[in-house]
Chain A
Amino acid sequence: EIVLTQSPASLSLSPGERATLSCRASQSVKNYLVWYQQKPGQAPRLLIYDSSTRATGIPARFSGSGSGTDFTLTISSLEPEDFAVYYCQHRSSWPLTFGGGTRVEI
C-alpha cells in the first residue's frame, strides 16, 4: 500500500498570502496524484488531478506540480473561501489511498 504523507499538518495564513502544501508518496505514483478541498459538513471537492490538471470550474489560483514521490499544491493568493482542509490521493495502484490532510486556517 502506498502511504501519502502530507505536510504541514496545519498552516496559518492570511487572505492574500501564498499557501504551499506538500504530499509525499512512499513510492512512485508517477503523476497520478489528486488534490481535494474539504469544508466542514461537506464532501471533498476535486481540485486537481494527475498532478497538475485543474478540474472544471477550479480557479487558476490553485496549481499542482510534481511527479514520482513529491507533489505540491499551491494557492497563489488565498481567498476567504479557501480556508479548509486539503487532501491528496493517488490513483497509481490498488488500494487507492489518501493523505492525512493539511488544514489551512486563518
Chain B
Amino acid sequence: EVQLLESGGGLVQPGGSLRITCAASGFTFSNYAMSWVRQAPGKGPEWVSAISDSRGSTYYADSVKGRFTISRDNSKNTLYLQMNGLRAEDTAVYYCAKTGRSFGDYHWFDFWGQGTLVTVSS
C-alpha cells in the first residue's frame, strides 16, 4: 500500500525557514518523480515544486523560485522541501504527491499525503 507521510509543518515568522519532509513507502521511491503541492485555506491546489526520479532534475513555481529547494534521499525513501524567506502568502497545507508512472515525466498525481500545515505569521 502506497503511503506518503508529511511532517515538519508549523508556525514560523515571516522571513524564517522551515524544512518539511515526506516519508514514502509501499512503492519503489527512486523510480518515481515527486512533487510538492500546496493549498491555501479556502483556495485550490497550487503546484510548488517537482523532482525527477533518480536523475535529480528540479522544477519550481515562479512564486517560490530562489526561496524553496526540493530534494530527495532515495536511500531513505524521503522527499524534502527546504523553505527559506517565508512569506504570509506561503501559508498553506503542503502535500507531497507521487507521479502516476515510473521512469519519466508523468506528472499526474495518483497518491497524495495527508498534508502538513505551514503557517507564516508574526
Contact = CB atoms under 8 A, between A and B. Distances in A.
A64 B62 CA distance: 29
Given A1-B62, A43-B95, A98 B45 contact: yes
A24 B61 CA distance: 21
A39 B100 CA distance: 21
B108 A43 contact: no
Interface string A39-77: 000011110011000011000000000000000000000
Nearest to A55: B110
Given A94-B59, A98-B45, A43 B110 contact: no
B100 A46 contact: yes
B108 A89 contact: yes
Given A34-B108, A46-B100, A95-B62, A101 B50 contact: no
Nearest to B95: A43
Contact of B107 (A38, A45, A96, A100): A96
Contacts, number: 54
Nearest to B64: A95
A50 B113 CA distance: 22
Given A96-B50, A96-B107, A49 B95 contact: no
A14 interface: no
Given A43-B95, A46-B100, A95 B47 contact: yes
- Counting chain A CB atoms within 10 Å of each CB, the highest count among B47, B59, B60, B95 belongs to B47
Nearest to B49: A95
Contacts of B113: 43
Interface in A80-106: 85, 87, 89, 91, 94-101
13 contacts: A43-B113, A43-B114, A44-B109, A46-B108, A49-B100, A55-B110, A89-B109, A91-B108, A95-B62, A98-B44, A98-B45, A98-B46, A99-B44
A-B residue pairs, 4 tightest by C-beta:
A43-B112, A49-B108, A91-B107, A96-B47
Interface of A: 1, 34, 36, 38, 43-46, 49-50, 55-56, 85, 87, 89, 91, 94-101
Given A43-B113, A46-B100, A96-B35, 4 more contacts: A56-B110, A98-B44, A98-B47, A101-B44
